[in-house]
């Protein structure tokens, strides 16, 4: 148990039709809030950190701390590098001890995406780590909290290309573009579930949904029913915690800094609990 790979933590998701939440932790406080829910409920989680969030932490200290924290837990947790944008970043992540890495070469032409992803898979195997890659374009930016983005169907994942991509790269999980965006959504999201089901029928590995902001509980449930195995969450916990602080400060009562972090962590825990319930994540007997 404790620290596991992405491949291990997602292994039963397709057969048993549930998803595991991947919650990004951009600092210690977020990480503790997320991991404490995993312990409290006895449920698996994926703890993520995206390259654009490296600026919030001292990575060389933070990742070993997370590894040690997770190794002491009874529930399975994958420690995942989210949206590594270069080989250099992903290789650094493997050296630091992430049990899973994402290489996001989705903005490159198809052949380059395949070539870069293959290199990462080869390297990750020697660490016993899993690899996620992305095909198609999920709009918006990681860490983009201000403006909403609209989904652009031109960037949606092509099902037959997805099959080719998975076969040619050997990845463990595939992030697909089916109508979500990173950061707040502008307008109302409409998931292309037919496309998702077609990809699911053609591709052997677990599928990942990035950019769940603005989706209803029913949207998530339908996405899971149509084959999503991993759901990335950051905007909701990040904005949720910030909202909790604003509400508290608006009351005007005297507060110390620990009162604020406690309130922020409580809000994150509430959101994580709610998401795990919606994703249908069960306790894992073994991985
Ligand atoms: Zn993402």
pLDDT in tens, 91-107: 999 999 999 999 999 99
Which band of pLDDT confidence, cut at 50, 70 and 90, is reported for residue 139? confident
- Residue-wise pLDDT for 206-239, tens only, equals 999 998 888 999 999 999 999 999 999 999 999 9
H or E element in which residue 196 lies: helix 193-202
Mean pLDDT of 7-21: 96
DSSP summary character for residue 254: -
Residue 57 sits in a domain whose CATH number is 3.20.20.70
Q: Is residue 287 part of a domain?
A: no
Q: Is residue 266 part of a domain?
A: yes
pLDDT(143) > 90: no
Distance 261 CA to ligand 1 centre (A): 26
Q: In this predicted model, which residue has the larger pLDDT, 150 or 279?
A: 279
Which band of pLDDT confidence, cut at 50, 70 and 90, is reported for residue 183? confident
Distance 176 CA to ligand 1 centre (A): 10
Complete DSSP assignment for 137-151: --BS-TT--SS-B--
Distance 251 CA to ligand 1 centre (A): 35
Share of the chain above pLDDT 70, in %: 95
pLDDT(142) > 80: no
* Beta strand spans in the chain (E): 3-4, 20-24, 45-50, 77-84, 100-103, 130-135, 173-176, 207-209, 228-233
How many structural domains are present in the chain? Answer: 1
Alpha-carbon separation of residue 4 from 46, 71, 139, 195, 270 (angstroms): 9, 9, 30, 30, 24
Domain enclosing residue 196, as ranges: 3-278
- What is the pLDDT of the chain when averaged over all its residues? 94
CA distance 97 to 126: 12
Q: Is residue 285 part of a domain?
A: no
Burial class (CB in 10 A: 0-12, 13-18, 19+), 227: buried
Distance 36 CA to ligand 1 centre (A): 23
**Residues less than 5 Å from ion ligand 1, measured at CB:** 210
Q: Is residue 283 part of a domain?
A: no
Residues designated as active site: 82
Which band of pLDDT confidence, cut at 50, 70 and 90, is reported for residue 145? low
Share of the chain above pLDDT 90, in %: 85
């Amino acid at each position: 148990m404790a620290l596991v790979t992405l491949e291990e933590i997602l292994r039963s998701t397709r057969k048993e039709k549930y998803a595991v939440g991947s919650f990004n932790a951009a600092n210690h406080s977020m990480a503790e809030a997320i991991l404490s829910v995993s312990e409290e409920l006895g449920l698996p989680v994926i703890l993520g950190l995206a390259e654009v969030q490296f600026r919030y932490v001292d990575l060389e200290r933070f990742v070993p701390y997370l590894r040690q924290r997770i190794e002491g837990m009874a529930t399975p947790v994958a420690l995942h590098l989210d949206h590594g944008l270069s080989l250099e970043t992903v290789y650094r992540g493997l050296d630091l001890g992430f049990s899973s890495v994402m290489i996001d070469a989705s903005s490159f032409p198809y052949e380059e995406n395949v070539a870069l992803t293959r290199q990462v898979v080869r390297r990750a195997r020697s660490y016993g780590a899993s690899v996620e890659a992305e095909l198609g374009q999920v709009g918006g930016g990681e860490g983009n909290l201000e403006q909403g983005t609209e989904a652009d169907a031109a960037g949606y994942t092509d099902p037959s290309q997805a099959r080719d991509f998975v076969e040619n790269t050997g990845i463990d999980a595939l992030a697909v573009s089916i109508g979500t965006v990173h950061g707040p959504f502008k307008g109302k999201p409409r998931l292309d579930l037919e496309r998702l089901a077609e990809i699911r029928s053609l591709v052997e590995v677990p599928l990942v949904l990035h950019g769940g902001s603005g989706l209803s509980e029913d949207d998530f449930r339908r996405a899971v029913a149509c084959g999503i195995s991993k759901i990335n969450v950051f905007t909701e916990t990040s904005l949720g915690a910030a909202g909790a602080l604003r509400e508290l400060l608006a009351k005007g009562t005297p507060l110390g800094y620990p009162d604020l972090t406690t309130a922020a962590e409580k809000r994150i825990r509430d959101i994580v609990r709610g998401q795990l319930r919606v994703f249908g994540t069960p306790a894992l007997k073994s991985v």
